[in-house]
Amino acid sequence: MPSTRRCKNSSLQHSLLAALFLSNICTAASVPSSHSARPFSARTVYSNRDVHWGPPTKRDNAIPLVISNNCGDTIWPALASQAGTGPGTGGFALSSGDSKSMTVSSDWQGRVWGRTNCSFNVGGTGPSNLNGNNGNGQACDTGDCNGVLSCVVTGNTPVTLWEVDLAGGSDGKQTYYDISLVDGYNLPIGVTYIPGSNTALEDIPPNLTNCACIGTPGFLTTVADSGTSGNSTNGTYPLPYEASQTDSTLSGWCPWDYQLTQPTKPGDGVYPYPDDNIQRPVFDPCLSACAKTNSAKDCCTGAYDQPSKCKPSLYSTQAKAVCPDAYSYAYDDTTSTFIIPTGGGWEVTFCPAGRSTNILKTFGTQLTQLAQTGQISKSILTDASNITLITQKSEASSGATGENSKFGGVGSRSLGALVVCVAWAVFW
Ligand SMILES: *[C@@H]1O[C@H](CO)[C@@H](O)[C@H](O)[C@H]1NC(C)=O
Ligand SMILES: *[C@@H]1O[C@H](CO)[C@@H](O)[C@H](O)[C@H]1NC(C)=O
Ligand SMILES: *[C@@H]1O[C@H](CO)[C@@H](O)[C@H](O)[C@H]1NC(C)=O
Ligand SMILES: *[C@@H]1O[C@H](CO)[C@@H](O)[C@H](O)[C@H]1NC(C)=O
Ligand SMILES: *[C@@H]1O[C@H](CO)[C@@H](O)[C@H](O)[C@H]1NC(C)=O
Q: Tens digits of per-residue pLDDT, 310-320?
A: 999 999 999 99
Residues 270, 230 share a domain: no
Please report which ligand is nearest the Cα atom of 70: 2
| pLDDT (0 to 100) of residue 273 | 58
Range of the domain at 110: 4-252+313-427
Last residue of a domain, one of 304, 332, 365: 304
Residues 400, 318 share a domain: yes
**Bridge partners, 192 (sequence order):** 347
Length of the chain: 428
Q: 236 CA distance to ligand 3 centroid (A)?
A: 6
Residues 110, 13 share a domain: yes
**Ligand 2: which of 231, 350, 355, 357 to mutate, most ligand atoms within 8 Å of CB?**
231
Read off the CATH number of the domain in which 325 is found.
Answer: 2.60.110.10
- CA 186 to CA 156: how far, in whole Å? 11
- Closest residue by Cα to atom 11, ligand 5, is 386
Taking 70 as the pLDDT cut, the residues of the chain under it are 1-47, 131, 198-203, 223-238, 266-276, 385-387, 390-428
- CA 300 to CA 332: how far, in whole Å? 11
| pLDDT (0 to 100) of residue 346 | 95
Last residue of a domain, one of 268, 284, 304: 304
Residues 378, 267 share a domain: no
Element spanning 359, H or E: helix 359-373
| pLDDT (0 to 100) of residue 228 | 44
Residues 139, 282 share a domain: no
- CB-ligand 4 contact for 385 (6 Å cutoff): yes
DSSP single-letter state for residue 155: P
| pLDDT (0 to 100) of residue 238 | 64
End-to-end CA distance of the chain: 32
Residues 290, 202 share a domain: no
Residues 276, 318 share a domain: no
Last residue of a domain, one of 304, 323, 342: 304
SS3 helix, strand, coil % of the chain, rounded to 5? 30, 20, 50
| pLDDT (0 to 100) of residue 364 | 83
How many structural domains are present in the chain?
2
**Ligand 4: which of 386, 392, 394 to mutate, most ligand atoms within 8 Å of CB?**
386
Residues 201, 292 share a domain: no
| pLDDT (0 to 100) of residue 281 | 92
| pLDDT (0 to 100) of residue 187 | 98
- CB-ligand 5 contact for 389 (6 Å cutoff): yes
203: number of CA atoms within 13 Å, CB side? 13
Residues 270, 243 share a domain: no
Residues 382, 319 share a domain: yes
Residues 190, 77 share a domain: yes
| pLDDT (0 to 100) of residue 258 | 95
